Amino acid sequence: MPARAKVRSPQDRRQTADRRFGARLLGSAAAAAITAVPFGLLLVLVEGQWQPLRRLDTGAARRLHEIALEHPAWTSALRFLSDRVWDPVTLRTAVALLTLWLLYRRAWRLAAWSTVAAVAGGCIGLLVKTVVERARPSLEDPVARAPGFSFPSGHAMTATTSFAILLLVLLPMVPRSWRAPCWGAAVFSVVGVGFTRVALGVHWFSDVLGGWLLGLAVVALTAWAFEAWRADTGRRPADVTEGLEPELTDERPEAGTCV
């Protein structure tokens, strides 16, 4: 006779839920430590005007400014990339269009995640800028200008959050053989944004590093929250290489798959 399926008692289910809750708490703490602690350390070094970091900032700014003055065509290309291709408005528009498409697909929670990650990134970055009030580089014969405070770089942070959102949403629709190149293009773009801001003399290197770290913290913590929701609804854990919602490729998702 076939073995009778074991019926789990309410107490067993509560214990399982408690273990999952504990694992998620540990996971959130690890995500916060991996992403937010380096940013906090960098902030302390910036506020304390740590001399090795100051030398790195001023040395990079001076050398790249000299190259910018010597090569006007190169500088024009950097300005085009920074102000048109990788501009925060352009990237936020791309994320907004993606969110509208998710709403059309009725992927409500994925749309909410992309919105929260993008808006939280912008608001947190602006808040930190206002609190730190770090001045931008002051160079003779500047090749570009930017308003506001310097730390962290808004361009770098927006690029980090925006490309992460685009990747984590769209990866399920990308053939596996193209996923590594997509990651490479995203990383190249994020690094490129940071380079243009330092090369144009509108940010210190540590500003860009701070933007990268803070953007990663926002994406990591919001993505963890989305993954916790998947676990609560009985979905399998999603691998970062296949995006946050692998079921998005279904032409007609079953009720609850993307909703």
Predicted local confidence at residue 223, as pLDDT: 84
pTM score, whole prediction = 0.80
Question: Average pLDDT for residues 1-13, to the nearest whole number?
Answer: 52
Please enumerate in sequence order all residues whose Cβ is within 8 A of that of 112, keeping only pairs 6 or more positions apart, or say none. none
Model confidence at 20, in pLDDT bands (50, 70, 90)? low
Given a cut of 70, is residue 147 above it in pLDDT?
A: yes
Is residue 159 exposed (0-12), middle (13-18) or buried (19+ Cβ within 10 Å)? buried
Predicted local confidence at residue 64, as pLDDT: 87
In one-letter notation, the amino acid at residue 237 is P
Question: Would you give the end-to-end CA distance of the chain in angstroms?
Answer: 41
Question: Average pLDDT for residues 26-43, to the nearest whole number?
Answer: 68
Q: What does the mean pLDDT of the chain come to?
A: 80
pLDDT digits (tens, 9 = 90+) for 79-136: 898 888 889 999 999 999 999 999 998 888 888 889 988 998 888 888 888 888 888 9
pLDDT digits (tens, 9 = 90+) for 195-222: 999 999 899 999 999 999 999 888 888 8
**Segment among 11-20, 61-70, 139-148, 213-222 with least mean pLDDT:** 11-20
Determine contact, residues 198/154, Cβ cutoff 8 Å.
Answer: no
Predicted local confidence at residue 110, as pLDDT: 87
Number of other residues whose CB lies within 10 A of the CB of residue 137 = 20
